Structure 1
Amino acid sequence: MKTYLSLSGFDSSQIVSLIVKYGIEGGDRIVLIRPEVEPDTRGESTIQAIRDLSRQIDSSINLEIHRVNHRDFEGMVLSLKDLLEKAEGQVIVNLSGGPREIFLAFTIACISKQEKIHKTTNFSDIDRSLNEIRLPNIVAALEEKQIRILKDISEFSPATITDIAERLSLSESTISRQVARLADIQALEVFPRGKTKELRITLAGKLLL
């Protein structure tokens, strides 16, 4: 089962692109995020277009509209976070389209609950393409040794465990343990290179520093 969560603006292309890219079948769920009060009929037209498309594919596809109060920023973030927490199956999120106020709140909610998300996408208005993106994990707390290791990798990337141990005067076993923890929180990536492993800092690691 897949659950699609998408901001919904005046263009259905991004949502159609999601369905084309990842597929959809009976029992799947599409949740379109819109403001409580529609400013005009264009938003409703987009919703109707997706409703018609989903019915043509399979009548058991569930289309839902999640309404948020665009004047209550904190309320939006918490409502969208709750929506993510309750989503079932493979959760595919689209971070594009819709009012700017909701976009910001939805992005924050997704970053706070990224463990629930299988894929995150962004639809480009420039070349009309759908791209997968990876949200950075920026909510982790770093220990002092982890900070030193990330700073070292940032300066000497790509780095190896042996190189880091020598530069920081720490044992390789200590570096290995900390590297594993940093990889778990997506602060760095590990690339096998023969018998050694190369370490590169990620966007999340740079933001955490």
Structure 2
Amino acid sequence: MKTYISLSGFDASQIVSLIVKYGIEGGDRIVLIRPEEERDSRGELTVQAVRDLSRQIDSRIDLQIHRVDHRDFEGMVVSLKDLLEGSEGQVFANLSGGPREIFLAFTIACLSHPLKIFRATNFSDIERCLNEIELPNIAAVLEEKQKRILNDVLESQPTTISEIARRLGISESTVSRQVARLADLKALEISPTGKTKEIRITLTGKILL
């Protein structure tokens, strides 16, 4: 099951691009984020365009509108955080479009739950295309040993577990365990290369340092 969560402004093309890029079928869900008070009919036209498209693809696609009060910033962040936490299946979060006030609140909600999101995207107004973006896990708290490993990888990447262990004077089993934890936090990326695994630092890892 896929759950698509997207800000919704006056242009349906970014939402359509999201659906086309990753595919959608009966049982999947689309959640469009809109303000409680609609002051421009173009917003409703966008919602209707997405509704018409989803019905053409499969009538079992569930389209929902998540309303937030644009005047209550804290309330928006909490509401959108709860929306993410309650979403099922693979969650796709589109960080583009919609009112600026809601965009900022949704971005904060996504940054607070990056491990909940399967794919994050952003629609480029310049190139008119949908791009995948990496959300850093800025909420993670690292141990000192994990920071040492991140610093070592940053200075020597791509590297391996045995090389990290040798440079830091730590057992390979300890490094392997900590690297796995850092990969779970999205701070490190592990890529199989032949019989070895190359390790690189991610945006999350750089921010946490």
TM-score, length-scaled by structure 2 = 0.91
How many percent identity over aligned positions?
76
Other-structure match for 1:75: 75
Tell me how far 1:62 sits from its aligned partner: 2.2
Other-structure match for 1:113: 113
User: Where do residues 23-62 of structure 1 align in structure 2 (5 Å cutoff)?
Assistant: 23-62=23-62
**AA in 2 matched with 1:31:** V
Alignment deviations for residues 140-167 of structure 1 (CA, whole Å, 9 cap, x no partner): 1111111111111111222222332232
- Count of aligned positions: 209
Tell me how far 1:8 sits from its aligned partner: 0.3
CA RMSD of aligned residues (A): 1.7
Other-structure match for 2:4: 4
Report the Cα distance in structure 2 between the residues aligned to 1:188 and 1:194, rounded to whole angstroms: 19
**AA in 2 matched with 1:41:** S
Gap regions ≥5 residues in structure 1: none
Report the Cα distance in structure 2 between the residues aligned to 1:73 and 1:204, rounded to whole angstroms: 26
Other-structure match for 2:167: 167
Tell me how far 1:61 sits from its aligned partner: 2.4
Tell me how far 1:137 sits from its aligned partner: 1.4
Paired residue secondary structure (2:110): helix
Report the Cα distance in structure 1 between the residues aligned to 2:72 and 2:106, rounded to whole angstroms: 13
**AA in 2 matched with 1:153:** V
Report the Cα distance in structure 2 between the residues aligned to 1:61 and 1:44, rounded to whole angstroms: 19
Report the Cα distance in structure 2 between the residues aligned to 1:74 and 1:10, rounded to whole angstroms: 24
TM-score, length-scaled by structure 1 = 0.91
**Bigger shift: 54-63 or 122-131?**
54-63
Alignment deviations for residues 61-88 of structure 1 (CA, whole Å, 9 cap, x no partner): 2222111111211111110111112222
Report the Cα distance in structure 2 between the residues aligned to 1:194 and 1:19, rounded to whole angstroms: 35
Other-structure match for 1:96: 96
**AA in 1 matched with 2:41:** T
Tell me how far 1:115 sits from its aligned partner: 3.0
Confirm or deny that 1:128 pairs with 2:128. Answer: yes
* CA spacing shift, 1:151–1:127, aligned 2, 3 Å: same
Other-structure match for 2:180: 180
Report the Cα distance in structure 1 between the residues aligned to 2:10 and 2:3, rounded to whole angstroms: 21
